[in-house]
Amino acid sequence: MEKKLVQAVASTIRHFRKLADMSQEALADKADLDRTYISGIERGVRNITLDSLEQIINALDVDIASFFAKVSEQANELSD
């Protein structure tokens, strides 16, 4: 089963983290999550909770609409 949404969210988190010039460890610290959890999310092997997603979005200092617009863009690219 293809996990397009999981992959789109993963690549969006990675995109905004790199845009912020932030390491996985720095993001994990700022979001109050474990670095291995962030790594698993970005690789698409961990299933993220909505609570954790909100913590990550806030830690990245990105508004929710912009985050999900990028998720949509990433999902469309995966379909191509």
Of 32, 69, 65, the C-alpha closest to 51 is 32
Other Cβ atoms closer than 10 A to 28: 20
**CATH class of the domain at 4-72:** mainly alpha
Assign 78 to helix, strand or coil. Answer: helix
Is the model's pLDDT at 2 over the cut of 80? Answer: no
Other Cβ atoms closer than 10 A to 41: 23
Q: pLDDT of 23-36, one tens digit each?
A: 999 999 999 999 99
For 3-17, give one letter per residue: b (16+ CB within 10 A) or e: eeebbbbbbbbbbbb
Q: pLDDT of 32-73, one tens digit each?
A: 999 999 999 999 999 999 999 999 999 999 999 999 999 999
